[in-house]
Amino acid sequence: MASERFQKRSADTSPGITTASLPDIIFMLLIFFMVTTVLRETEIQVRTELPEAEALTKIDQRRLISNVYIGPVIRGPREGETAVQIDDALIEDYTAIRTIMYNQLQEEPRLIVSLRVDRESEMQVVNEVQQELREAGTLRINYSSNPELD
């Protein structure tokens, strides 16, 4: 009888999985996705009604594209005046385009500049922008347009 007291009894249940570290793992995943997700969108400050075109080629690598918007200002003291926008900023001095694009080209050598020009923009402004892009060394330029509707 004494030997029965000291014998180990086998448990019928298996030990459960501990969930103590589960909140830590979820929190780390949440932080990872918050840091790696890009949520920023460019606020367009100029109107760009793109012209139609017959032959278009879609560029699949969106990270290589830097958009330059040229068109009339939508609101503000310069409303209706043709302006240039890169990212979220209206460019006052066109020589700043050279510096901005040169810096972007240094970060990404395969950079493609996409000109989104309003159909009623002044061609003098477009020509000045092209000259500044040429001076910056950004020679890969495309012109965005809408497909021609039949």
Compute the average pLDDT of residues 100-108.
Answer: 91
Those residues whose C-beta lies under 8 Å from the C-beta of residue 144, and which sit 6 or more positions away, are: 50, 67, 114, 115, 116, 117
Whole-model pTM?
0.65
Position 2 scores a pLDDT of 57
| Tens digit of each residue's pLDDT (9 = 90 or more) over 1-50 | 556 666 666 656 677 777 788 889 999 999 998 888 877 667 777 877 77
Position 149 scores a pLDDT of 59
pLDDT > 80? residue 60: no
27 versus 54: the higher-pLDDT residue is 27
Q: Which amino acid is at 102?
A: Y
Position 28 scores a pLDDT of 93
Spell 60-91 as b/e; 16+ CB within 10 A means b: eeeeeebbbbbbbbeeeeeeeebbbbbeeeeb
